[in-house]
Amino acid sequence: MAGQEKTIFSILCILAVCITCDCQSPPKFVNDLEFTNLMEEENDTFVGNITATDDDGDNITYGIRDTESQYLPLSPSGEPNPYANAKLYLSVDPVTGGVTIISPIDRENITTNSVVVSFEVLDYDALANGVVDVTLVSSDKDCEMDMFNINKPSPNRNIFEIILKKELDYSVSSEYLVCMNASDRGNPMLVSPQIKKVTIPIEDVQNLGPVFLNLPGIIDMEEDTPVGTPIVQVTAVDGDRGVPEPNIVTYSMSSDSFTINGDNGNITLSNQVDREQLTENPIRLIVTATEEDNTQPLANRTTETTIIIRVLDVDDEIPNFDKGYVKVKLYENAPVGTALNLGVTVTDDDEVTNNDFELELVQDLDAFKLKGTTSVGGSLPVDVRVKDSVYLDYETRQQLNFTVVVKSNPESKLEVVVDLINENDNTPQFLQDSYEGSFLENATFGYSILSISATDDDVRDNITYKMAPKLNDINIDPLSGVISVSENAVLDAEITESYIFTVEASDDSGAVNLTQVTLNCEDVNDNAPFFLRHLAELSIQEFTLDDMPADPIITFQAFDRDITEPNNVVGYYILSGDDDNKFEMNSENGTLNFIGAVDYDGPDGYKSFNLTIAAEDGGNPSMKDVNDNSPVFESNNYSFTVLEDAIEGALVGTVTATDLDTERGGDVSYIIVSGGIGSFLIDETGSILVNSELDRETEASYSLTIVASDGLNQGDCTVTITIADVNDELPTFEEEAYEFEVSEGYVGEVTASDEDEDSILKYSISTIEAKDENGETVTGGFTSQFNIGEDDGVITVNEPLDREVVETFRMTVSVTDTNATDIQRELKRIKDKGPNGSVRYSLDDDAGGLFRIDEKDGTLIVSGNIDREKNATLKIIVRASDEGSNPQSSTADFWILVRDVNDNPPKFKDPVYFVELEENADNDTVVIVVTATDIDEDHGKIVYTLQGDTEDWFKINDSGVITVANQPDRETYALVVLTVVAQDTGDRNGDTLMTVSESTDADVTIVTVVATDPDQGEAGQVTYHLLSYSQSGKILSDLCLST
């Protein structure tokens, strides 16, 4: 650019010389020193005339100083400046002053630090007064001060150079004005009265690229502008403005959407533009302008500019969902307002003025609603909420579908599928309000009685069943609801005729429903009749046919436990013993009569009759009872072991005998007939108990003979009881005293024994006493003098003995059973003997007279009436005392838990209820609610029933709610009296004919039995007594008739 300027300054160093010798003043140029622009390589070109005047009127001659003259300027480097050699390029006419180019000029050599022009300033004074200095001045605002310097090559000559200081640039300035002032160095210093101004013109060359003219700012274009539409025209010109013939400029551009006309710069839309798809908006187009000039490098003749086109939005975008389909899960019965959390957003890419839209929800069921339907800023999250939970029922439907659409364009839509998640919101429902079934009492394990079924509207909900209360005889399958006979069931219709219980059905969430089940245990003929007693002895007087007794000799009574006829209808007959037909048996009532004479003394006299009477029921097959079987033990020989320190009442073992006879003929009692009598006893269950203190060292084993009897027949077994040793004996020495003589360190050996089998004996020396030959005690420590073998009792000398000091030693040796505990050893030492060891029992607190205790064996006996409803627990204090001269005693507290029996009937809150009722009352109208309570714990369920002449008019449920069953008629009964019966269903089962409840008072008559004897006088008097009873409170009464 400026350093590449092609402008050349033709330097005119022309002198005007006065020819006459009288010249007093030098000639003066009429025109200033001028610079003429010349094109390089121009020959014989007339440049112009130089004119000068002379004040003296002398003739003036023009010329160029010779290159060898003393005025030849030098370049800044000190070399001769080729531009100062004007003679090489110019010639001057000496007369006219005309200047002509005589040699081509090379313009490329004009660079910075080059001499633009040289000139001389004349001062005719001598010495310092003639030395001139020239400086640049800014007398005019246009005077250039930065582009040039003034140089004086030689200090001794007043020749000066204008030096190019900076590179030239035509585009910056086409000419410069240089202003100079001259002054000498005299004293006083004289300054030129005028400012010399030199104009330096700059010639432009081809060195600048094109220049764009009148570029537009941001150009706006709507996105729907048609293809082919002119958008803008750019114009560029040759940047070298001073050249005579500017270069032609062409245009180019790279763009997918726009094209440019290379000749005129017209930019046209070539492809449709979608604002929403642009990665950059506004669009920036790079347009290149190129000069057609192959003489210059491409970089010097090209220029780029940026055209900015802003694409304006039009409402051409459809609001779009970022997903077209979504599936979500929702819990059934979700509350109103629950969000579905779709995670979907609708977006309109148009600008704010064009991106408003509204959503709409399309659904078959009014289950959901949109929250927020109008867009804000062209974007809207799809927020769907529950509107009505009634439609969210998994049992009705498992899936719901709806569509969210843009109102302005329904084609833009979101399909939503809602899968409902099942929740356990339904309670199991039984197919029936209550269930009833029946089964035979001889049903075996696993027999299916009844199937209970419940349903649950919850899908895939598992239902489980259980009974309340749990029954030993009945079981329910928790999964199928099948009720069956339990594995350990003991079914007996005579004991439990029906089972009433509740079945609970529960689902996976624990939701529960209940139903009542009644199972009837139907009787089968599985009980043979039984007599109250199996042996009867009568004494009678002989008689003839004439005086034969008319009344029955005896009446037999047998019972059958079966509960239905004919299974429990008993018939009687003589099985054996009446070979002579002397007797007749009434099969229905069991009376026995004579039908033939009986002679005691005749040749065919009868001393006795042994009759066997049989009782047979009417069932099919019939069953009869004859006590013809003996009890049989499970084993002939039993072996048990008991510790010798077992307390009285401790269980040794149990023997069991069974009798094939039914009922009373099958009842077995036990007795010890030999061996261990006094040391052991046996109770009614066959349990053998310790009865007195045992001592293995006295008796190591016992052999018992035990008999089991059913009252007529008996069986026996042998029981061997081994007494196990307890380390309770003290060891004893074989000698009370030992005497040894010491010989070579060996003293002697002591020996002890222990009757305990597991004893471990250890010996030790307790004390040592020493005496001299005079019998006097010698003091000093002698414990280390001797040693005793811990295990063998061998005594040896540890240290030398001195007989003169000690003649005899007396030592105490101890033996200890280390396998016995300290407590065992101490008990053995202090166990009292005689009266001191005899223990008596008494009660310090008898719970208000409800208990007494056997003072000898400590058996606790109920002596009063116990009522659990008054006292569920009872406390007694038992005292044990010895009979020593200084009696010792101790006490112990016992708490007794009273178990409830169902001995209290339900009681109504009010004894009488009065109600008024319209005679036209509709069925199921509630009349009144009555309530009964039962203080028993296990009373079961209270069941209500109605009694009365008009009971069919009303009904009552299990809750005591009385409602109308059939419309009452006042004209029939104006006043209705109903009796409400409340009955509990607790277990009152028993296995005896007569029972006494817990609340029975003492001295209350339970039952009265009556016997008659046809004999007269004292022979006919009857006395009564009980043959046996059990402590469990069951009265098993064998009636003994004595006549």
What lies within 8 Å, CB to CB, of 717 at 6+ separation is 633, 635, 636, 637, 638, 655, 657, 705, 706, 708
Which of the residue ranges 40-54, 142-156, 265-279 would you say has the lowest mean pLDDT?
40-54
- Contact status, residue 540 vs residue 505, Cβ threshold 8 Å: no
Do 429-522 and 907-984 come out as alike in CATH topology?
yes
SS (H, E, C) 129-171: HHCEEEEECCCCCCECCCCEEEECCCCCCCEEEEEECCCCCCC
Burial of 590 (0-12, 13-18, 19+ CB in 10 A): buried
Q: What is the pLDDT of residue 102?
A: 67
Which of the residue ranges 198-207, 383-392, 404-413, 947-956 would you say has the lowest mean pLDDT?
198-207
> Could you give the CA distance from residue 1033 to residue 267 in angstroms, rounded to a whole number?
125
HSE, CB side, 13 Å, CA atoms: give it for residue 972. Answer: 8
pTM of the predicted structure, to 2 decimals: 0.33
Model confidence over 958-994: pLDDT tens digits?
888 999 888 887 777 767 778 888 887 764 332 222 2
407 has a pLDDT exceeding 50: yes
Beta bridge partners of 4: none
Domain 2-201 has CATH 2.60.40.60: yes
Question: Whose structure tokens read 């053998």?
Answer: 688
Q: What is the pLDDT of residue 847?
A: 84
Domain 907-984 has CATH 3.30.2000.10: no
Give the confidence band of 204 by pLDDT, cuts at 50, 70, 90. Answer: low
Q: What is the pLDDT of residue 821?
A: 54
Residue 302: other Cβ atoms inside 10 A: 16
Of 463 and 18, the structure prediction assigns the larger pLDDT to: 463
- Contact status, residue 478 vs residue 470, Cβ threshold 8 Å: no
Q: Which two tokens stand for residue 751?
A: 């020996």
Q: What is the pLDDT of residue 264?
A: 92
State the fold for domain 732-819: Immunoglobulin-like (2.60.40)
Model confidence over 260-288: pLDDT tens digits?
999 999 999 999 988 878 888 899 999 99
State the fold for domain 526-626: Immunoglobulin-like (2.60.40)
What lies within 8 Å, CB to CB, of 601 at 6+ separation is 542
> Could you give the CA distance from residue 223 to residue 315 in angstroms, rounded to a whole number?
10
Beta-strand (E) ranges in 223-332?
A: 230-233, 235-237, 249-253, 258-260, 266-269, 283-291, 302-312, 320-321, 325-331
- Contact status, residue 238 vs residue 247, Cβ threshold 8 Å: yes
> Could you give the CA distance from residue 234 to residue 241 in angstroms, rounded to a whole number?
19
Of 518, 509, 513, which is closest to residue 454 (Cα–Cα)? 513
Of 8, 103, 12, which is closest to residue 49 (Cα–Cα)? 12
90 has a pLDDT exceeding 60: yes
> Could you give the CA distance from residue 889 to residue 832 in angstroms, rounded to a whole number?
13
Q: What are the respective helix, strand and coil percentages of the chain, to the nearest 5?
A: 5, 40, 55
CA 981 and chain centroid, separation:
53
Beta bridge partners of 388: none
Domain 834-897 has CATH 2.60.40.60: yes
Beta bridge partners of 219: 309
Model confidence over 760-781: pLDDT tens digits?
888 888 888 888 888 888 887 7
> Could you give the CA distance from residue 34 to residue 643 in angstroms, rounded to a whole number?
156
Region for 88 from its dihedrals, namely left if φ exceeds 0, alpha if ψ lies in -120 to 50, beta otherwise: alpha
State the fold for domain 320-421: Immunoglobulin-like (2.60.40)
98 has a pLDDT exceeding 80: no
Beta-strand (E) ranges in 239-281?
A: 249-253, 258-260, 266-269
CA dihedral 496, 498, 502, 504 (to 10 degrees): 90
Q: What one-letter code names the amino acid at 876?
A: I
Q: What is the pLDDT of residue 230?
A: 94
Q: What is the pLDDT of residue 934?
A: 77
Beta bridge partners of 777: 771
HSE, CB side, 13 Å, CA atoms: give it for residue 432. Answer: 12
Q: What is the pLDDT of residue 943?
A: 86
Give the confidence band of 145 by pLDDT, cuts at 50, 70, 90. Answer: confident
Q: What is the pLDDT of residue 728?
A: 66
Model confidence over 907-961: pLDDT tens digits?
887 767 778 788 788 888 888 888 888 777 665 678 888 887 777 888 998 888 9
> Could you give the CA distance from residue 730 to residue 752 in angstroms, rounded to a whole number?
10
SS (H, E, C) 64-88: ECCCCCCCCCECCCCCECHHHCHHH
> Could you give the CA distance from residue 522 to residue 440 in angstroms, rounded to a whole number?
5
187 has a pLDDT exceeding 80: yes
CATH class name, domain 429-522: mainly beta
**Domain definitions of the chain by residue range:** 2-201, 211-312, 320-421, 429-522, 526-626, 632-724, 732-819, 834-897, 907-984
Of 931 and 904, the structure prediction assigns the larger pLDDT to: 931
What's the whole-number mean pLDDT along residues 672-676? 88
> Could you give the CA distance from residue 1036 to residue 959 in angstroms, rounded to a whole number?
41
CATH class name, domain 632-724: mainly beta
Cα first-last separation, the chain: 168
Its sign, for the CA torsion 83, 87, 89, 90, is: positive
- Contact status, residue 8 vs residue 110, Cβ threshold 8 Å: yes
Of 67 and 443, the structure prediction assigns the larger pLDDT to: 443
Give the confidence band of 97 by pLDDT, cuts at 50, 70, 90. Answer: confident
244 has a pLDDT exceeding 80: no
258 has a pLDDT exceeding 90: yes
Which of the residue ranges 453-467, 506-520, 658-672, 788-802 would you say has the lowest mean pLDDT?
658-672
Give the confidence band of 837 by pLDDT, cuts at 50, 70, 90. Answer: low
Of 196, 168, 170, which is closest to residue 110 (Cα–Cα)? 168
Number of H helices and number of E strands within the chain?
1, 77
Burial of 235 (0-12, 13-18, 19+ CB in 10 A): middle
Model confidence over 324-334: pLDDT tens digits?
999 999 988 88
Q: What is the pLDDT of residue 275?
A: 81
| Segment (H or E) for 385 | strand 384-386
Q: What is the pLDDT of residue 25?
A: 60
Q: What is the pLDDT of residue 702?
A: 95
Of 321, 309, 247, 219, which is closest to residue 273 (Cα–Cα)? 309
What's the whole-number mean pLDDT along residues 344-373? 85
What's the whole-number mean pLDDT along residues 1017-1043? 41
Give the mean pLDDT of the chain: 78
Q: What is the pLDDT of residue 402?
A: 96
DSSP 886-942: S--EEEEEEEEEPPP-S----EES-S-------TTPPTT-EEEE--EE--STT---E
Q: What is the pLDDT of residue 771?
A: 87
Q: Cα–Cα distances in Å, from 923 out to 877, 931, 964, 980, 983?
A: 63, 22, 5, 19, 26
Q: Cα–Cα distances in Å, from 249 out to 258, 456, 637, 653?
A: 20, 92, 139, 133
Domain 211-312 carries which CATH code?
2.60.40.60
